[in-house]
């Protein structure tokens, strides 16, 4: 009889394993959460080690002339000048987020405004033009960036904001053109035109009421990418400022890169914070898209 018992249990076990495997393989969102929680556990581990009074491996992170490796007092270690790194890292992360948010929202609104202009003036031809522009037009901010670098000055916060907003605007304008085109050929918009709606009223009553969903979902999806792009620009020195208080996360990583082997925490912690922010923002974007009923592109998450 034990064989019968075993035979009864085996399919259940197999089923459970299959379900688990299916959840792991198909439910990509589980990966995302597992990834996010993994980071939280790593952080908690670091905090626990720090609180227990043991400094992290001194062989790898040796104390230099002015700096201190992460310990119970300085969780993120200190810089060459002996400044605790937690404050600057969090401050820089805050600035980076605000910059990315500003660029995303501003760029998205600008893109939407351009598409709205095309809705009134050029319509179908304009939408096609926007779509093409969104493809090759991405080169414009890149050229602008190269020219700024070649000129040899960072020009501060504004340049970064301009480049990132430009990229967002191009992306959103191209997308908005497609949304306008789709919505314009939908039955109720055609029926509204047949009733004698003006373009302005069509836009306010029929298009904007449905367009905002696409725009919000698109902006949320762009945000983690823009944050990474902002960090990359900061790393290359675009938008560098004289005041250290105006540092951003990419700049901190670039600074820490110079002493990577002597003081790796100067790169590790800004990088870790950037990573966490990206994961959190990607999760947020995923939640926004799912709430608004927008299609989720698995390649993005």
State the nearest-atom distance from the C-beta of 117 to other proteins, in Å.
16
Taking the complex as a whole, the smallest distance from the CB of residue 108 to other proteins amounts, in Å, to 22
Between 26 and 195, name the residue whose CB sits nearer to other proteins.
195
Structure-derived torsion over alpha carbons of residues 48, 50, 51, 54, reported in degrees to the nearest 10: 110
Q: What's the min distance (Å) between Cβ of 216 and other proteins?
A: 16
Q: Give the Cα separation of 208 and 205 in Å (integer).
A: 7
What does the binding site for other proteins look like in residue numbers (CB under 8 A)? Answer: 123-125, 186-188, 190-198, 205-206, 209-210
CB 164 within 8 A of CB 234: no
Place of tokens 């836009």: 203
Least distance (Å) between residue 167 CB and other proteins: 29
Nearer to other proteins, 147 or 194 (CB): 194
Minimum distance of other proteins from residue 196's CB (angstroms) = 3
Residue (53 or 187) nearer to other proteins, CB: 187
**Calpha distance 248→270 (Å, rounded):** 10
Q: At what angle do helices 86-120 and 265-292 cross, to 10 degrees?
A: 40
Residue 188 or 258 with smaller CB distance to other proteins: 188
* C-alpha–C-alpha distance, residues 168 and 199, integer Å: 26
- CB neighbours (10 Å) of residue 271? 17
Q: From the CB of 133, what's the least distance to other proteins, in Å?
A: 18
CB atoms within 10 A of CB 295: 6
> Which CB, 80 or 178, lies closer to other proteins?
178
Nearest CA to 242 among 132, 154, 182, 176? Answer: 154
Residue number, 122 or 157, with CB nearest to other proteins: 122
Helices (H) and strands (E) in the chain, counts: 11, 0
Radius of gyration of the chain measured on its C-alpha atoms = 25
The nearer residue to other proteins, 80 or 193, going by C-beta atoms, is: 193
């Amino acid at each position: 009889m034990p064989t019968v018992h075993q035979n009864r249990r085996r399919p259940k076990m197999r089923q459970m394993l299959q379900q688990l495997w299916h959840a792991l393989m198909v439910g990509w969102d589980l990966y995302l959460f597992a990834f996010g929680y993994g980071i939280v556990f790593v952080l908690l581990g670091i905090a626990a080690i720090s609180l227990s009074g043991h400094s992290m491996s001194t062989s790898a992170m040796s104390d230099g002339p002015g700096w201190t490796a992460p310990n119970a007092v300085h969780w993120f270690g200190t810089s060459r000048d002996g400044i605790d790194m937690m404050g600057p890292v969090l401050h820089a992360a805050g600035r980076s987020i605000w910059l990315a948010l500003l660029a995303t929202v501003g760029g998205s609104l600008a893109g939407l405004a351009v598409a709205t202009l095309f809705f009134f003036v050029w319509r179908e031809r304009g939408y096609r033009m926007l779509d093409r522009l969104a493809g090759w037009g991405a080169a414009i901010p890149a050229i602008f960036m190269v020219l700024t670098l070649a000129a040899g000055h960072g020009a501060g916060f504004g340049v970064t904001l301009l480049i990132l907003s430009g990229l967002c605007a191009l992306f959103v304008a191209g997308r908005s053109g497609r949304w306008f085109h789709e919505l314009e050929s939908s039955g109720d918009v055609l029926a509204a035109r047949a009733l004698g709606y003006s373009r302005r009223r069509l836009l306010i009553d029929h298009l904007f009421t449905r367009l905002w969903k696409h725009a919000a979902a698109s902006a949320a999806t762009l945000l983690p990418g823009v944050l990474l792009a902002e960090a990359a620009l900061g790393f290359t020195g675009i938008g560098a400022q004289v005041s250290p208080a105006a540092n951003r996360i990419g700049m901190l990583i670039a600074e820490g890169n110079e002493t990577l082997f002597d003081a790796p925490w100067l790169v590790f912690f800004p990088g870790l914070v950037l990573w966490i922010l990206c994961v959190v923002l990607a999760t947020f974007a995923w939640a926004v898209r799912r709430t608004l009923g927008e299609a989720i592109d698995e390649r993005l998450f």
